[in-house]
A and B are shown apart, each in its own frame.
Chain A
Amino acid sequence: MSAQELGNEIYTLRVNGQSHPVQDAWIGESLLYVLRERLGLPGAKGACEQGECGSCTVVMDSQAVCSCLVMAAAAVDTEILTVEGLGENGSLTDIQQAFLAAGGVQCGFCTPGFIVAVHHLLDSNPEPSEDQIRESLSGNICRCTGYGRILEAVKIVISKRDAS
């Protein structure tokens, strides 16, 4: 059985404000797989495909989700935001800038998931306490940084937003 025969579903996903038709997909493909392998949006990463690491975090209808756990075909009629949809015309958001300035990026594999998760956190709670930051980002694993510089990046964003 080839991929084509596995199912030739045609459906449309709304990603970063644009409609993307998905063709010839196998019905069991995860949103993570479809974003990465079919829609050319490799920003979301897979590191466990079990909902444990948060590398694949995207926002679906204002909820941060693990795209590895969402069936792509079940994501029709939702608005999906990936890391590629942040920042206007290729510019960096304040969160992305803070990650760079604070040293929150080493290998960077966890970074897109963290960036999306931090955007989502600060959109829903602009003034989180340190405990709240830690808890709400505890679904995102980083193996390189020990989280210290990521915490610093989030604090920088909060204080800069406060000041402006």
Chain B
Amino acid sequence: MTTTHPTNTSTRAGTLGTNAYRPDGVAKVQGGFAFSSDMWSENMLWGATLRSPHPYAKIISIDDSAALAIDGVECVVTAQDVPGNPYYGLIMSDQPVFAAIGDTVRYCGEPIAAVAADHPETCKRALAAIKVVYEILTPVTNPQDCVSGIAPQIHPQGNVYRHQRIITGDQSIVGDVIVEGTYEIGMQDQAFLGLESALAIPDSGGEGLELYVATQWLHEDRKQIAACLNIPEDKIRLVLGGVGGAFGAREDISLQVHTCLLALKSGRPVRISYGREESFYGHVHRHPATIWMRHHADRNGKILKIESTMLFDGGAYCSTSPAVLINAITHTQGPYKCDTASVEGWAVRTNNPPCGAMRGFGVVQACFAHESQMEKLSVALGLSPVEIRLRNVMETGDRLITGQIMDSVAPVEQCIRETDAIAMPEPLLPNADIRQIPGGTGLTAQPGNIVRGVGWGVSMKNLMYSEGFDDYSTARCRMTDGVVSLKFATSEVGQGFTMLAQQIARTILGVNEVLLDTIDTQVGSAGSTSASRQTWMSGGAVKAACEKVLEDLFDHAALTFELSRDHVRIEETDIVDILSGRRIAVSEASKGVNLDRTEEYHHPPTEDLDENGQGNCHVAFAFVAHRAVVDVDVELGLVKVVQIATAQDVGRILNPISVQGQVEGGIAQGLGLAVMEEIIVKDGKVRNPSFTDYLLPTFLDAPLVEMVLIEEFEPKSPLGAKGVGEPPCISVTPAIANAIRNATGRELPRVPIRPYDICL
């Protein structure tokens, strides 16, 4: 890893810019860290969920009497037991807590009932004993039928989640060179390792409860749970259970309401923990999409106009489909200048599995299309992949197709040039170890059939929530007798926010010890750990709270030690009066002091898009370039991704190793989408809900990653940093696809690229 600027001026361990240690690290390497699936309570029951085996069916009857007769079964809950809102959902409240008698199930795996019993095995028997009679209906599985209107309406709220266009510029323009294609992106799973799990503990008074859950957004969960349970929000305390990865899949409610209902009905603590198969049914996935795109360019390669239609299959319930669609269409141009565009996007409801947030959030799909197009443009114009992109790079101050002015730092050209400057990997040697060639130790490739290819992908990604949403964050900082403690509701999902929060407090307050309070709903919302937003948003809130405490400390110190209030500042762990040169250790100055500040951080407001897709809908953007080198056995269709070179626009680097980890982890997920990961859905049914059949990149699949971090302070960001979580996984997918195209000469319009796409 290299960086374009020196990282840090302070060398004090654990401050901003250093490789601080994770506060949860020791527990995690020793196995003592409590993930939500490790939670346990005295007198606890196990819960389990009955799910529909049909993608679309009317429920005629549910008979749980045989289940209740099983020794060890405590209770069963169904739609009848939901005291409040029978539906939930992030954007639209359209998903039933349980499908009710007389209503329909709309996807395979939809919850119908839940049981609580003394042992997971008893739960399984109870589920098997519940008799549900269905009237099977013909599922709507082709999203195009919802656009054309020929599909029957499968939900009272209709089959279209959102239809939005973007029209800008002179539509009569025709390019000297025109390239087009229709691209498809398969359904990807977040496949976090730590499965869904929650423990609900009812209050002794029976009025409220406590829920320990692995989630991305405690307060939003609580809001939806409270509405379903018809209990005031202040009677429900959510505590973050250890989260084993998220990647978008924990933004929606899954088992939260079910677990609470069982606990309230039984009056006992209840834990539900999904297995892997259930997890595939229990959370939303990345939207499969079909995108048509046509680029017009002049003879020099300048993009003149882009036309596109995008169709996102949202599956049975809304989740975040409208927002995913908006992200996709507003990123049609990618990180390139473009004055004229005509884009039409649809997100629709089908009887396929519900889709929602996954790392990259709509931009992954759009980027696969626009970077596939850039490849075609480069071929059509006889320009190198680097040259065609350099001729179009976006810069700060450019007007986007939405009319919004790019006011983020936008080092797109630098991303491309720095990536281009990274050395190519060694050629594949004739006697290479089999672990380095396509197919590895399994289906071994013929060395003579291996062709090397190189491909590029460049992307932009919005940061934070968009379209008028005030996704603020809250943090509390206390300094009591020299001890600093922080409290926030920010979900730590593995990204390292708890470490960053400590770094911020150490830096601002000049202390070394920073305690972290429990992450729960006893403080204001932090918003979701998604949209690459927590470093910016919760980082901003922690910074603001710490700065307020620092001001209070300065007030106190100036009085007590007779310092010049207007001339004090923190240097390392001292308060320094720069007039007199006097230094007082923070530990000394804070003795007997009790300071307590809670602050919110709000980003500047954004707007909805109008009917022509115009509006300042996004807060900020980050950029990245990827160059992939692949070896392909063209006879067997096997691919080995040899090297990913990348330069990423990260703003200020707050923790180099953390950034590196985000970049490498994101690249592996983007590689998964490029060549191996897909939830296969046939007639509304998931065919591969297991890690045996849904393939994830292993150690042997992980490429060599060579990265440059482009460090340019982002003035709009409270800490100068940009979110780094999503960009790595976005353009790496088309970079790999373009490399395989380069090696094979095939169009390969669909990811994941399967062996038979290459060799048949």
Contact = CB atoms under 8 A, between A and B. Distances in A.
Interface of A: 1-3, 5-6, 26, 28, 36, 41-50, 52-53, 55, 82-84, 86-87, 90, 92, 96, 99-100, 102-103, 105-112, 115, 131, 133-135, 137-151
8 cross-chain pairs, A with B, having the tightest CB-CB distances, nearest first: A43-B31, A107-B494, A108-B28, A109-B244, A146-B668, A146-B664, A103-B657, A83-B31
B755 interface: no
A112 B33 CA distance: 10
Contacts of A41: 31
Nearest to B120: A33
Interface string B245-259: 101000000000000
Interface stretch (B53-61, B189-197, B605-613): B189-197
B32 A43 contact: yes
A134 B71 contact: no
B243 interface: yes
Interface stretch (B221-229, B327-335, B688-696): B688-696
B436 interface: yes
B30 interface: yes
Contacts of B24: 108
Given A48-B276, A111-B29, A148-B702, A131 B436 contact: yes
A135 B691 contact: no
Contacts of B121: 3, 6, 26, 28
Given A96-B30, A108-B244, A148 B193 contact: no
Given A47-B193, A83-B30, A145-B665, 8 more contacts: A1-B72, A1-B122, A2-B71, A86-B30, A96-B30, A106-B661, A107-B493, A144-B245
A148 B665 CA distance: 8
A109 B247 CA distance: 14
Contacts of A107: 192-194, 243-245, 493-494
Contacts of B71: 1-2, 5
A146 B665 contact: yes
Contact of A111 (B28, B435, B665, B696): B28
Contacts of B658: 103
B35 A146 contact: no
A105 B19 contact: no
What bracket does the count of chain B residues touching chain A fall in?
35 or more
B217 to A, nearest CB: 16
B699 A147 contact: yes
B660 interface: yes
Contacts, number: 201
A2 B122 contact: yes
30 contacts: A1-B71, A3-B119, A3-B122, A5-B71, A6-B119, A42-B34, A45-B194, A47-B194, A47-B276, A48-B276, A52-B691, A84-B30, A86-B30, A92-B30, A99-B29, A103-B19, A103-B657, A103-B660, A105-B28, A107-B245, A108-B25, A108-B29, A108-B244, A109-B192, A109-B244, A112-B29, A115-B29, A134-B702, A146-B668, A148-B705
B119 A2 contact: yes
Contacts of A134: 435, 699-700, 702
B26 A108 contact: no
B443 to A, nearest CB: 15
B172 interface: no
A5 B666 CA distance: 48
Given A106-B495, A108-B24, A144-B494, A3 B72 contact: yes
A149 B664 contact: yes
A34 B125 CA distance: 20
Contacts of B37: 45-46
B21 interface: yes
Interface in B104-136: 118-119, 121-122, 125
Contact of B661 (A28, A112, A144): A144
B38 interface: yes
B445 to A, nearest CB: 16
A106 B37 CA distance: 17
B690 A48 contact: yes
Contacts of B663: 146
A141 B691 contact: yes
Given A45-B194, A145-B661, A148-B661, A105 B25 contact: yes
B441 A135 contact: yes
A48 B494 CA distance: 19
B708 to A, nearest CB: 15
Contact of B193 (A28, A49, A53, A146): A53
Contacts of B243: 107
B597 interface: no
Nearest to B707: A148
A106 B494 contact: yes
Max chain B Cβ within 10 angstroms of own Cβ: one of A47, A52, A83, A135: A47
B192 A2 contact: no
Contacts of B691: 47-48, 50, 52-53, 141
B193 A141 contact: yes
B193 A55 contact: yes
A143 B191 contact: yes
A116 B468 CA distance: 48
Contacts of A36: 38
Contacts of B32: 42-43, 84
Given A105-B29, A108-B24, A137 B118 contact: no
Instruction: Identify which of B31, B33, B243 gathers the most chain A CB atoms within 10 Å of its CB.
Output: B31
B660 A148 contact: yes
Nearest to A26: B121
A42 B195 CA distance: 14
B275 interface: yes
A100 B21 contact: yes
Interface in B660-714: 660-661, 663-669, 690-692, 696-700, 702, 705
A28 B756 CA distance: 41
Contacts of A143: 190-193, 245, 247, 665, 669, 696
Contact of B38 (A42, A92, A147): A42
A107 B249 CA distance: 14
A64 to B, nearest CB: 14
B562 interface: no
A133 B668 CA distance: 18
Contacts of B192: 107, 109, 143
B70 interface: yes
A50 B122 contact: no
Contacts of B28: 105, 108, 111-112
B275 A49 contact: yes
Contacts of B660: 103, 148-149
B440 to A, nearest CB: 8
B240 to A, nearest CB: 12
B433 interface: yes
A31 to B, nearest CB: 15
Contacts of B657: 102-103, 149
Nearest to B435: A131
A158 to B, nearest CB: 16
Contacts of A139: 698
Contacts of B699: 133-135, 137-138, 140, 147, 150-151
A46 B391 CA distance: 50
A144 B190 CA distance: 10
Interface in B1-51: 19, 21-22, 24-35, 37-38
A47 B244 CA distance: 10
B496 interface: yes
